[in-house]
Structure 1
């Protein structure tokens, strides 16, 4: 009897250790919108890409790092097998979350819904409303990443979709602020928005800049939907005069951006280190 109890106790302990040794990913069909990363609460290294258009680098981040994409990771092709190869490459690279670009919906909502079950990463968007109830369930409005005592919230917004049926596009700024508020209420110290809005600074044009300027509770925007754009990290002031950073890694999978958040033992920012890597 004692031997059996020891066996059951040791088996349960081993299972628990295996669970926390590697990240627990959010499958898009899961009702649990949580990702657990290995490591402590002192540092979070975020790797990010955008507008890869089907070109995925194969060297992901280290264990405990967060890997994100701001949309248009597919080429917009109607080649279903080719799109699945792209998803497989992103799975192998270790992506944790991505948002929806216009290319992901270039072949309609049914084509996107068919791809999501193959994703080992969460697909997040909070300003699209889908007529297809299955797709509405598969796409998450936000997810939470837990690393040690840190909680990091991730949401995503997308651009207008002329010619795409079955999707109602709502105000991305209002949707992102509502998502950030929900994430803050759940204890997130950092909120990241994956934004496929572009960088057009025309008056009254919604863009990654206007999202930053009118945001509340968002710390970092991974921006996409603009090609040939300067990849340097930008800082804007939000609606409450607090700093919001905008990162952009360029197009076609040639670069990935990095941003390191460093914290003290009270989970407060100490300093932030940006970077850009050619891949």
Structure 2
């Protein structure tokens, strides 16, 4: 059964990003890290802040948008008040509005909105190192990070701090980027062309000490330059899975911060007091994600620091709104063609708790995306594929019942990864499943590398300890000494049965290049595996192709996405249940 779908040819607005030479943007002179915007006698300063916007720009008033935030900032300026606007990372990736031009329009919107400063989050690197550097040059505002290092020179890639002289005070921001960037972006981007060694580092350390030391040096530099207030602008988060690199741990192991604006964990945190290494209380705050809030920090004339989260704003800057509307319309036009109808809701979140489940357990959308990869190779490419895997971190949003378009698929899988097929051993499959399951049951830790499967099923013994060997960047180094993953079985299309995985046998494994070839999420066990076919199609087009193969076509010519209509329904004994939010039972967690 060989089927193809017609699709438009999409041209990215930026074209190919030009490779940039590695340089350090840091400058030793104080004047290179300061703005000359002294505004008179000591008075209150307002700092507006965002984090983890993830390109969610298609909001409607009074919801927050870049246009609303631009108007909010201008309202303070028009009233003669001192105001800065900063961002704590993850702003160019997340939806089709970011990925269709590699973040170019998002940076344009941030420029027009009047951002003064940002720190890179892990997703600023999703389009590759050259594009990450290009983005930072396109910005009219400064990017800072005290722990991103070029290992070839030993120099910081970005300025470590940024000083603003405003309201009669000298306010220094210290930029901090999560060391999880290596595995939550693509480790290959931080390596040389032959992928034999790292040429960049995001300082972290197994015990966090490299990170703490880098932050403390930046704080000390700000003090030396005469900072009145020192504020962290970090993309670290507070999730236990990010330990020892959380913002709370950084504060606790350093001295000198007055406040810390955070991101990464999507936490709504208006004001939390965290003691630093000297016992001083430091204000920690985060807005959540997706423009749910904009933060407002006020440094009073008397030195007191207060914070609040603003949920809505009625105003909108007309020019910024027009830029956003034009791009939204263009993307919607490119990707708006309806291709199928979902008869059920597809989940990444647990419908019972609302918490994100896709990174720790099976869902029907995890099954669907993995099935799309499996079917693409077996039915469209007409190659033999035994098993397909998909990392949970690459599946980004629930999909309500109703029409599916290319944009739906692009929003679910916005990263632009491509499908590939490799010949691997059963032991490599075992190692991958074990590595992906290493945090399941561990205090609710999420793992973007949790693996959803097609053509397979397996069990996870959650109460057993994790014994997978990893390095200080959480990259796989060796097999588990005591496996938590057992009873791995591979579907046999000939017999219609699931058969035990043979560690010494060879299997055809499909997935995205992010996981199989680029060390994404730390999957290094496939090094040396034989490539069967690469770069067949982008992630969202693989999903679109699968959706277009369903039966149950209605009067509008649209297939209906139900289990009975799937081409895999013709595979006898295949585990398939898209109507069940928790999937078909391919992943059993044993407590």
**Fold similarity call, TM over 0.5:** yes
Does structure 1 residue 130 correspond to structure 2 residue 131?
no
* 1:277 paired residue among 303, 310, 320: 310
Q: 2:235 — aligned with what?
A: 196
SS of corresponding position for 1:174: helix
Contact 2:164 2:170 in 1 (8 A): yes
Cα displacement string for residues 113-160 of structure 1 (whole angstroms, at most 9, x for unaligned residues): 111221111100000113587x955x2111110114310111111112
Q: Structure 1 residue 86: deviation in Å?
A: 0.4
Tell me, in whole angstroms, the C-alpha distance in 2 between the residues paired with 1:88 and 1:36: 24
Does structure 1 residue 100 correspond to structure 2 residue 133?
no
Higher RCO (C-alpha 8 Å, min separation 6): 1
Q: 1:218 — aligned with what?
A: 257
Q: 1:177 to 1:89 in 2, by over 3 A?
A: same
Tell me, in whole angstroms, the C-alpha distance in 1 between the residues paired with 2:224 and 2:125: 31
TM-score using structure 1 length: 0.79
Contact 1:222 1:246 in 2 (8 A): yes
Does structure 1 residue 247 correspond to structure 2 residue 248?
no
Tell me, in whole angstroms, the C-alpha distance in 1 between the residues paired with 2:285 and 2:37: 22
SS of corresponding position for 1:71: coil
Contact 1:191 1:219 in 2 (8 A): yes
Aligned residue runs from structure 1 range 94-243, under 5 A? 94-130=114-150, 139-160=158-179, 161-162=182-183, 163=187, 164-165=189-190, 166-170=199-203, 171-201=210-240, 205-227=244-266, 229-243=267-281
Contact 2:89 2:119 in 1 (8 A): yes
Cα displacement string for residues 256-275 of structure 1 (whole angstroms, at most 9, x for unaligned residues): 111101124xxxx2x33321
SS of corresponding position for 1:111: helix
Contact 1:201 1:209 in 2 (8 A): no
Range moving further from structure 2, 192-201 or 182-191: 192-201
Q: 2:101 — aligned with what?
A: 81
TM-score using structure 2 length: 0.39
Q: 1:204 to 1:80 in 2, by over 3 A?
A: closer
Cα displacement string for residues 154-207 of structure 1 (whole angstroms, at most 9, x for unaligned residues): 111111212241421212221111101110111101111111111024695220
Tell me, in whole angstroms, the C-alpha distance in 2 between the residues paired with 1:38 and 1:87: 27
Contact 2:236 2:242 in 1 (8 A): no
Range moving further from structure 2, 185-194 or 164-173: 164-173
Tell me, in whole angstroms, the C-alpha distance in 2 between the residues paired with 1:215 and 1:72: 25
Cα displacement string for residues 42-63 of structure 1 (whole angstroms, at most 9, x for unaligned residues): 1111111110112352223233
Tell me, in whole angstroms, the C-alpha distance in 1 between the residues paired with 2:250 and 2:25: 29
Contiguous gaps of at least 5 residues in structure 2? 1-23, 57-64, 191-198, 204-209, 313-591
Cα displacement string for residues 69-94 of structure 1 (whole angstroms, at most 9, x for unaligned residues): 11111116784735111001111111
Q: 1:103 to 1:130 in 2, by over 3 A?
A: same
Does structure 1 residue 72 correspond to structure 2 residue 90?
yes
Q: 1:215 to 1:246 in 2, by over 3 A?
A: same
Contact 2:26 2:160 in 1 (8 A): no
Does structure 1 residue 34 correspond to structure 2 residue 34?
yes
Contact 1:200 1:207 in 2 (8 A): yes
Q: 1:18 — aligned with what?
A: none
Does structure 1 residue 257 correspond to structure 2 residue 257?
no
Tell me, in whole angstroms, the C-alpha distance in 1 between the residues paired with 2:136 and 2:215: 22
Q: Structure 1 residue 244: deviation in Å?
A: 0.6
Q: Structure 1 residue 236: deviation in Å?
A: 0.8
Higher strand share: 1
Q: 1:29 to 1:180 in 2, by over 3 A?
A: closer
Contact 2:145 2:161 in 1 (8 A): yes
Q: 1:203 to 1:196 in 2, by over 3 A?
A: closer
Q: 2:66 — aligned with what?
A: 57
Tell me, in whole angstroms, the C-alpha distance in 2 between the residues paired with 1:190 and 1:177: 15
Contact 1:158 1:172 in 2 (8 A): no
Contact 1:68 1:97 in 2 (8 A): yes
Contiguous gaps of at least 5 residues in structure 1? 1-27
What is the aligned residue count? 244
